[in-house]
Structure 1
Amino acid sequence: MGAPVDIAIFNVEGDLDVRSVPATRRRLDALVAQGTRRIFMNMGDVSYVDSAGMGFILGELRRIRRMGGLLSLSNVSPQLYRALSLMRIVEFVPVSRAGARHEVAALDPSVLPRWRTTFRVGPDELSAARERLGELLSRLPLTGDALFDMGLACGEALGNAVDHTCADGVLATVAAYPDRVCVEVSDCGCGFELADGDEPPEAAPEDERGRGIRLMRMLADSVSITRKRTGEGTVVRLVKLLDSSGSSPEGAPPLAG
């Protein structure tokens, strides 16, 4: 998890059938060839997928997984979701339905973390910080896909904090609770806040930056962006629910200053 992973939203243009699959495959393959390893396939304009389309989705998922990446489907209509379910595609590919919003219950303030650790992230230590977060997250009962996505979301938060604020004041905190893991990335910048449900400013297609918040919301189960309670700066809080079928988190890691 040390090297950053390119993330992209791939818009499928119309239905996925035997006639459209070859062109769609060429577009997706070009994206993968550029190094993109986390792809959200936007199915908002897709109303029909035939057997060729189903095979294309499964084939691309297997190929990207072999490269250490992940493909998922987003904005899937109810009718298309039923078809994907009948073909058992949803058993292999992460799918989010159109209009669905994953609500995470607020944490009971009386519940204490099983362990918590905080460490400083220097401006030239992003790779080491991603490695450390990956090691901490790997101690928890997260599925492989959830671990991959949470690592990417944390990488986005760390990169934004170092890039847009006073890089020397970035802190990362990981707290493991019985049902979730919370990662907070704080900085000492001018402070920024975005209410739940509010959308960040739209990035132009030619812009290289400006999509981090949207991507974090797609990768984590819950994202909050608030100003610090004391002092100047922003706190980005990422939450991922733990796999209820997994084992309990390991003992607390050693605290770091």
Structure 2
Amino acid sequence: MGVSVTTSEQGPVPVVHVQGDVDVTSAPSMREAIDALILAGHRRMVLDLTDVSFIDSTGLGVVVGRLKGLRRSAGVLTVAASHERVLRVLGITGLDTVLDVAPDVDAAIAAAAQTAQ
């Protein structure tokens, strides 16, 4: 399955929406979308993975790399994820303790906005 990556403004922070499987071939699209927001000056954003049912180590590497970059500039990356397989991968890797993970986009936006203050 391919991946679709779009961005939107939903409230106080931009959202990167990802649909499909995030793997070695599709992870660069996600990275490019996040990087474009960072280059545009955004330091707080939401990564919407609610329509992702699979993410491999390459996709996780993109998330971790962008999180580190944002944190260096006092930024925030909040992840919205609800699929059991994605949540399980985040838990097994321990990323659920490093990332702010919310069950849906609205909760992720609220968390990112609150963290921003």
Q: Please report the TM-score for the alignment, with normalisation by the length of structure 2.
A: 0.76
Pair 1:149 & 2:115 matched? yes
Residue equivalent to 1:52: 58
Q: Distance in 1 between matches of 2:78 and 2:34?
A: 13
What are the ranges of 5 or more consecutive residues in structure 2 without an aligned counterpart?
1-11
Residue equivalent to 2:6: none
Residues 126-170 of structure 1 deviation map (CA, whole Å, 9 limit, x = unaligned): xxxxxxxxxxxxxxxxxxx8896261xxxxxxxxxxxxxxxxxxx
Cα 1:26–1:89, aligned 2, differ >3 Å: closer, same or farther?
Answer: same
Count of equivalent residues:
103
Q: Output the amino acid matched with 2:21.
A: D
Cα 1:148–1:40, aligned 2, differ >3 Å: closer, same or farther?
Answer: same
Alpha-carbon RMSD across the aligned residues, in angstroms, is: 2.6
Q: Distance in 1 between matches of 2:37 and 2:27?
A: 15
Pair 1:92 & 2:98 matched? yes
Q: Is the 8 A contact 1:81 1:97 kept in 2?
A: no
Matches within 5 A, 1:1-257: 7-98=13-104, 149=115, 151=117
Q: Is the 8 A contact 1:74 1:98 kept in 2?
A: yes
Q: Distance in 2 between matches of 1:146 and 1:34?
A: 18
Q: Distance in 2 between matches of 1:75 and 1:51?
A: 16
Q: Is the 8 A contact 2:76 2:112 kept in 1?
A: no
What are the ranges of 5 or more consecutive residues in structure 1 without an aligned counterpart?
1-5, 102-144, 152-257
Q: Distance in 1 between matches of 2:37 and 2:19?
A: 15
- SS of equivalent to 1:76: coil
Q: Is the 8 A contact 1:37 1:68 kept in 2?
A: yes
Q: Is the 8 A contact 1:78 1:98 kept in 2?
A: no
Q: Distance in 2 between matches of 1:48 and 1:35?
A: 29
**C-alpha displacement of 1:78:** 2.3
